[in-house]
Amino acid sequence: MATPHISVTTSDDNASIDAALDSVIAEATSPHPEIVKREAPRFDVAQMQQHLDGDLADLKQEIRDLLVSDPIFQKDEYISHADFRDITYERTKVLAEHNLGAMDIPAEFGGRGAAKGPLALMEILSHYDMSLVIKQGVHFGLFGGAVYLLGTEKHHKAYLPGMVNLDYCACFAMTELGHGSNVRDLQTTATYDPATQEFVIHTPIESARKEYIGAAAQHATMSVVFAQAIVNGESHGVNCFIVPIRDEKMHPMPGVRIEDNGMKMGLNGVDNGRLWFDNVRIPRENMLDRYAHVSADGEYVTDITSESKRFFTMIGALVKGRFGVAISALGASKTALTVATRYANRRRQFGPDDKAEALLMEYGTHQTRLMPRIAKAYAIDFALKQMTEKSLNANAGESTREIETLAAAIKAYTTWYNTDAIQTARETCGGQGFLAVNRFADLKGDSDVYATFEGDNTVLMQLVAKGLLSEYGSQFNDNRLHAVMRMLTRQAGRELTEKNPVVTRMRSEAHLRDSDFHMNALSFREEVTLVETAKRFRREIKERKLPAFEAMTRVQGDMLDLGNAYIERVILEEFLDYIDGVEDENIAAMLRDLATLFALDSIKTNAAWYLERGYLSGAKYHALRRQFDKLCNELKWQGIHLVDAFGIPDAVLGAPIAI
């Protein structure tokens, strides 16, 4: 074997090598002069962006303009950890200066009174930097939202104006080391002392420390803290308290211990930290008391006597933030898909002999990787618009179960989709996608945690299924007999119609692209999965004599399937409902194609389920796959126009391969 040659370089040699490397990197990352657009748009791109921006178009443009015009938002991939934290905080201050932080807070406290304003901010910032999404979201959304929604007038006047202006930085201490999703069993205590009219906040054991608290490590001076309220020796469940954690010199308050979580997979512009409380005393007035308060002499007073109902009412006031997480994840997905689609329309690879190399988008595998995910981005976007509108317009006295179920399901579904879309987009860009400058590194690292914060997705989907099963079971009460009969009749009719041998074998393009077929297929999967899960759960209890909790653990896989079946049906239903109201036929036609692709993708992905239950024949499944591939091919040159309609400015997008 030949001995490898080893050379010793001088400083001049090192300079030459550095220059050569710089030249290679510059060539690899330099933008091409123009993206090849093989086909004119079949729709007005600007008008499509108007549909996507909706009634928040002006606000979204205001945010885009700020990100492009203010030098503080210029990105630097090589910034240090410490500097990244500092500039993220400075950028949050700029948002506050432009009144773009707590936009949903009423004008009397300094906000804009724009209920959907924070959603627009989260989406547009997610194109740019998700650390900024979280930093501002913790202060304005979580802390500010808790004070506004769980507090009363005295708290509003005392804390909201300063919060809106970012006169102080605050955090939100709910999660504990030993309790993440199970907020109800948090172990931090808030014991009332009637002698001093104070609450004593305490961390009784190590697993009760507040963990992963955004802004706690460096910038926050106060926090809302969720703790078990103990009054006269009796626990009254989880309540919320305002607790100062640092003084004016940024030193921890007496009894407060703070630790830095350090570097993370992503979101390193956010200073996450841990908090311990050693008998920290706060005034009685620091209890956020919209749903319960403690009198001076130590009486716990509430109009909601059920501790369970009171807890879910309090948490329910904050649960709408899950829509914001879904919107943020969708914004990151749109960024990744824009980069990948633009690159696919300029990068060439292989091709016929004696001819120009083919564009990546000409390959069928590229089409079937990108186009269904673009279609899903559109479907989720318009469904989210419908859902958030319902959430904001829900009557105060109306049951919030449907809204909570929707919020949990769409958060889980969208953040799982986000992980898939970003990874797929990264792979379609090859080695260029691995360069940090092309954005996939931060998009992947920053959004990965979305699958486990604001509710772990697996837990959330089980909560969705539990709600659906509870509703299903309640229909069997004697006083809802008519509802049961209607449901059983509908199921029987669907079985006769949808599983008719003629229908299961229909393979025409008109049928396979028919929205009625798609809705029936997704509704059938949801209904049958619901019934099958309910039957299995009942069997575990009745026949195997298992306790309800253990029985639930045996059907968790079925529950996840049910949650996914439910939300996919809802997304398609809401998307089609939106399309019905679109007047421009070119826009409507494109959206119908995207809805078709979304539905075909869902049916194809769950083909085994449909084949097992005789809903599809083998021949029909193969025909459906061919239609799926054909539609991806038909839309391939529209992909560039569809991602352009996302409205992400080049300066915000930041990826050289896409600009």
Tokens of 300: 């716990």
The pLDDT assigned to 485 comes to 53
Tokens of 266: 């992503």
Are the beta carbons of 562 and 409 closer than 8 angstroms? Answer: no
Encoded amino acid at 389, one letter: E
Cα atoms in the Cβ-side hemisphere of radius 13 Å centred on 461 = 23
Sign of the Cα pseudo-torsion (246, 248, 250, 253, in order): negative
Residues contacting 381, CB < 8 A, separation 6+: 52, 330
How many angstroms separate the first and last alpha carbons of the chain? 48
Nearest CA-CA partner of 656 in 429, 443, 445, 446: 429
Residues pairing with 244 in the sheet: 222
The pLDDT assigned to 543 comes to 82
Please, is 500 exposed, middle or buried when counting C-beta atoms within 10 Å of its C-beta (0-12, 13-18, 19+)? exposed
CA-CA distance, 410 to 463, in Å (whole number)? 12
Are the beta carbons of 254 and 229 closer than 8 angstroms? Answer: no
- 171-305 is classed in which CATH architecture? Beta Barrel (2.40)
Q: What is the CATH number of domain 321-658?
A: 1.20.140.10
* Residue stretches of the chain with pLDDT short of 70: 1-35, 37, 395-399, 475-503
What is the residue-wise DSSP string for 188-240? -EEEEETTTTEEEEE--SGGGSEEEETTTTTT-SEEEEEEEEEETTEEEEEEE
User: Could you tell me the residue ranges of all domains in the chain?
Assistant: 45-165, 171-305, 321-658
The pLDDT assigned to 632 comes to 98
Cα 53 off chain centre by = 18
Nearest CA-CA partner of 90 in 137, 135, 148, 130: 135
Distances (CA, A) of 557 to 385, 420, 529, 536, 602: 29, 20, 11, 11, 18
Residues pairing with 445 in the sheet: none
CA-CA distance, 171 to 304, in Å (whole number)? 27
Tokens of 345: 């329309």
Are the beta carbons of 296 and 194 closer than 8 angstroms? Answer: yes
Residues pairing with 281 in the sheet: 200
Phi-psi region of 302 (alpha: psi -120 to 50; beta: other; left: phi over 0): beta
The pLDDT assigned to 312 comes to 82
Cα atoms in the Cβ-side hemisphere of radius 13 Å centred on 138 = 32
Tokens of 578: 């939106």
The pLDDT assigned to 501 comes to 63
pLDDT in tens, 165-204: 999 999 999 999 998 878 889 999 999 999 999 999 999 9
The pLDDT assigned to 187 comes to 96
Helix (H) or strand (E) holding 396, with range, is none
The pLDDT assigned to 30 comes to 40
Tokens of 434: 């691995």
CA-CA distance, 277 to 254, in Å (whole number)? 9
Give residue for tokens 């009637």: 194
CA-CA distance, 454 to 653, in Å (whole number)? 26
CA-CA distance, 377 to 379, in Å (whole number)? 6
Distances (CA, A) of 524 to 206, 497, 519, 558: 48, 11, 8, 15
CA-CA distance, 381 to 376, in Å (whole number)? 8
CA-CA distance, 591 to 594, in Å (whole number)? 5
Strand, coil or helix: 301: strand
Distances (CA, A) of 135 to 5, 95, 576: 52, 11, 35
Sign of the Cα pseudo-torsion (629, 630, 632, 637, in order): positive
The pLDDT assigned to 542 comes to 85
- 325-343 burial, b at 16+ Cβ within 10 Å, e below that, comes to bbbbbbbbbbbbbbbbbbb
The pLDDT assigned to 454 comes to 85
Is the CATH code 1.10.540.10 the one for domain 45-165? yes
